[in-house]
Structure 1
């Protein structure tokens, strides 16, 4: 590993068109899991000027019957959920308004061929919802054991959204992006060399005193969020570098579920598997196995077994046990990487890392996903409580297994 270098990560706000799509898809997952904890959901969303389109496959009690007929009232609940998400984000613009947008629902029943391979039956345990590889990562750069550039990029945009909604910064609109470049020395972040923030704004905030007000506000937020001393006279600023950013969100560009997977994870500081998270129920290992690998990685670092770790799991569709488990501590481990792999396999309460074992251990069959769909799935708490995959309650088990 290099010890001295620059590294950059980006984030996008809840009002970015792709993130609007992610949040709608996950709100549908939550709606269906609240009705049936065993619901199967694969919901894709497209957003564009004054339009939201849903597609995908579903199955669940109280949602849709075997013949593809909706349960009473569910179609209306779906539309109300979609409009509610758009309203909460803050879109009341001519080109995208929660109340007047055109909504299309093309969700349909799950393929019986997929169902027969995934469902438990007879002596067969429930299998993975698809083949794939999933990665988890943790490092000791921040208190939440996340890479610093993505952590700060998320926090900047989250603050902008909070200030927009509270009235502190009424000149902001929902769509925004951030990018943070940090200088690393001896493998640790020590300074911020560049910041990019592009934020949708009210008319007039692209020139003169109003533009200066917006720039000063953004610089103040960034300086407050980054550690003391990271921002200096040498930091390069790019605030709304295109000049004007009044047209944004789905009116400015179409959005799709699952297009911001690096924003969702580790900002490029670690590998990402083949699948996105949002819109999928937790039987899909694209989601649940990515969560358990993050959970394992975070507990390994929290236990002092490494300062940086990457974990990979691989699955085959319809097969319950993972095909492989790989741990890499990047030369920072206090014990052999293979010993950590053996320790993970030996912790009974993990359920053998099967799809059902993961869901049971982390309690994933609950409507908790809408809040994960903006500002990253990892390294943060929501409403004062961590997501279950952010817990560090496996530390003692790991230490005991490696004693």
Structure 2
């Protein structure tokens, strides 16, 4: 590992067009799971000027009947959820407004060929919904055990959204992006070299005193989010570097589900398997296995077994057990990777019922409508509360230590 370097991560706000799509897709997942914990959902969303389009495959009691037809009122409920999601984000603009956007629903019943491969039947356990590789990661750069560059990028935008909605920053609109570049010394973040924030704004806040007000506000937010001393006289600022940013969101740029997977995970500080999370029910290992590997990696670091931990698993469609498990402690481990791999298999079996799709989703309690809140500001590094973000708990620390002897 390099000890002295500069690294960058970005984030995008809940009003970014791709994130609008992610949140709509996950709101649909929540709707189906609220009716049927065993529902199957693969929902893609397109957002553009005054239009939202859904497509994908679904199955679930209360939404799709036994003949593969929509249940009474189901399509109206889907449209209500879509419009409510857009309203919650804050879009009431001429180019994208929750009340009068055009909505199209092209969701249809799940393929019977896929269903027979992944459903449990007789002595056959539930299989993975697809082949693929998934990664989990944790490091000790922040209290949330996340990469610092991404953690601060998320928190800057969360603060902007909170202030916009509370009225503390009424000149802000929903679309925004952030980017944080930090200098690392001896493997630890010590200073911010560059801060980039682009935020949609009310008319006129790109010139004169109003521009100064916006930029001063953003700088103050960044100073409050980053640790004391990280902002120095040498920090370079780029706030709305293109100038005017009044047209934003889906009116300014089309959005699609699953296009911000690095923002969703570790900001480029760790590998990504390639599969998006949003719009997928927890039988899809793209989502559930990425959650469980984060859960395991976070507990490894929380236990003091390493400062950094990457875990990979792989699956084949229709096969329940993972094909492989790989651990990398990045030369920071206090135990061997081989010993830790064996301990992880044991702990996962004892505490979750294994790393099968069923074991993961039942062991972590994923068959619940808990996903809309994951679709902005990252799926990881969030506070576990009630049923939300169970993969962020650190309740495996003692079990991992015990398994290692």
TM-score range, shorter chain: over 0.9
- Is contact 2:12–2:177 with CA below 8 Å preserved after alignment? yes
* Residue 390 in structure 1 maps to residue 397 in structure 2: no
- The residue aligned with 1:373 is 375
- The residue aligned with 1:147 is 147
- Out of 364, 389, 401, the position equivalent to 1:399 is 401
- Is contact 1:293–1:312 with CA below 8 Å preserved after alignment? yes
In 2, distance between residues paired with 1:41 and 1:385? 20
* Residue 245 in structure 1 maps to residue 261 in structure 2: no
- What's the C-alpha RMSD, in Å, of the aligned pairs? 1.0
- The residue aligned with 1:311 is 311
In 1, distance between residues paired with 2:384 and 2:324? 32
- The residue aligned with 2:337 is 337
- Is contact 2:22–2:258 with CA below 8 Å preserved after alignment? yes
- Is contact 2:292–2:360 with CA below 8 Å preserved after alignment? yes
- Tell me the matched-pair count: 403
In 2, distance between residues paired with 1:168 and 1:196? 21
Q: What are the within-5 Å matches in structure 2 for residues 171-250 of structure 1?
A: 171-250=171-250
In 2, distance between residues paired with 1:377 and 1:346? 26
In 1, distance between residues paired with 2:386 and 2:199? 27
Deviation at 1:383, TM superposition (A): 6.7
In 1, distance between residues paired with 2:66 and 2:324? 35
In 2, distance between residues paired with 1:287 and 1:322? 14
1:72-129 Cα shifts (integer Å, max 9, x gaps)? 1111110000000000000000000000000000000000000000000111100000
In 1, distance between residues paired with 2:396 and 2:198? 40
* Residue 83 in structure 1 maps to residue 111 in structure 2: no
- Is contact 2:384–2:390 with CA below 8 Å preserved after alignment? no
Deviation at 1:274, TM superposition (A): 2.0
- Segments of 5+ residues of structure 2 without an aligned counterpart are none
- Is contact 2:184–2:190 with CA below 8 Å preserved after alignment? yes
What is the SS of the residue equivalent to 2:368? coil
Deviation at 1:346, TM superposition (A): 1.3
In 2, distance between residues paired with 1:385 and 1:218? 33
Q: What are the within-5 Å matches in structure 2 for residues 65-104 of structure 1?
A: 65-104=65-104
In 2, distance between residues paired with 1:351 and 1:134? 19
Distance 1:253 1:40, change over 3 A: same
- The residue aligned with 2:326 is 326
- Is contact 1:371–1:382 with CA below 8 Å preserved after alignment? no
- Segments of 5+ residues of structure 1 without an aligned counterpart are none
* Residue 35 in structure 1 maps to residue 35 in structure 2: yes
* Residue 160 in structure 1 maps to residue 160 in structure 2: yes
- The residue aligned with 1:294 is 294
- Is contact 1:380–1:386 with CA below 8 Å preserved after alignment? no
In 2, distance between residues paired with 1:34 and 1:75? 15
1:210-231 Cα shifts (integer Å, max 9, x gaps)? 0000000000000000000000
Please say which of residues 5-14 and 67-76 is displaced more in the overlay. 67-76
In 2, distance between residues paired with 1:49 and 1:264? 24
- The residue aligned with 2:55 is 55
In 1, distance between residues paired with 2:164 and 2:96? 18
